[in-house]
Amino acid sequence: MKKIINTEHAPKAIGPYSQAIEANGTLYISGQLPVNPATGQIVEGGIAEQTEQVLKNIEAILKEAGYTFENVVKSTCLLSTMDSFAGMNDVYGKYYVVNPPARAAYAVQKLPLGVMVEIETIAVK
């Protein structure tokens, strides 16, 4: 059985999908964009600021579902260009200091709303 997870502390879905789904002790978080949930706007700045907001959004969803970053087992990072990889990686590393999850990072042709980064996350209890 699946449970839909929603929080006002992360951006609302911009399409027909849920912020996250929990099923059998696994939390699947949809790709998060650097949108400030309080304003509904993309955060200003570069890759560091955008990655920070994405991870704050992920943190809010994890918390709503009763998980933490320690429960994360896999991340997929989508970047508008691999030139942003180092900046994303620096911020990402601050959230996963010990026992980081498995991860993939890809450059894609275009991300929603013209953002620089999107991260999807899987966590397990």
Over the stretch 58-95, which tens digit does the pLDDT of each residue have? 999 999 999 999 999 999 999 999 999 999 999 999 99
* Digit-coded pLDDT (tens) for 14-28: 889 999 999 999 999
- Structural domain boundaries, residue 61: 2-124
Question: What pTM did the predictor assign?
Answer: 0.96
Please give the tally of structural domains in the chain: 1
- Strands (E) across the chain are located at 2-5, 20-23, 26-32, 35-36, 41-42, 72-79, 102-107, 117-124
72 phi/psi in degrees, rounded to 5: -70, 130
The whole-angstrom separation of Cα 92 and Cα 71 is 15
The DSSP secondary structure of 75-93, one letter per residue, reads: EEEEES-GGGHHHHHHHHH
Nearest to 63 by CA among 3, 117, 1, 123: 123
Q: What is the CATH number of the domain that holds 43?
A: 3.30.1330.40
* Digit-coded pLDDT (tens) for 33-61: 999 999 999 999 999 999 999 999 999 99
Contacts (Cβ under 8 Å, ≥6 apart) of 54: 32, 33, 34, 117, 118, 119
pLDDT for the residue 14: 83
The whole-angstrom separation of Cα 6 and Cα 104 is 25
pLDDT for the residue 1: 86
pLDDT for the residue 70: 97
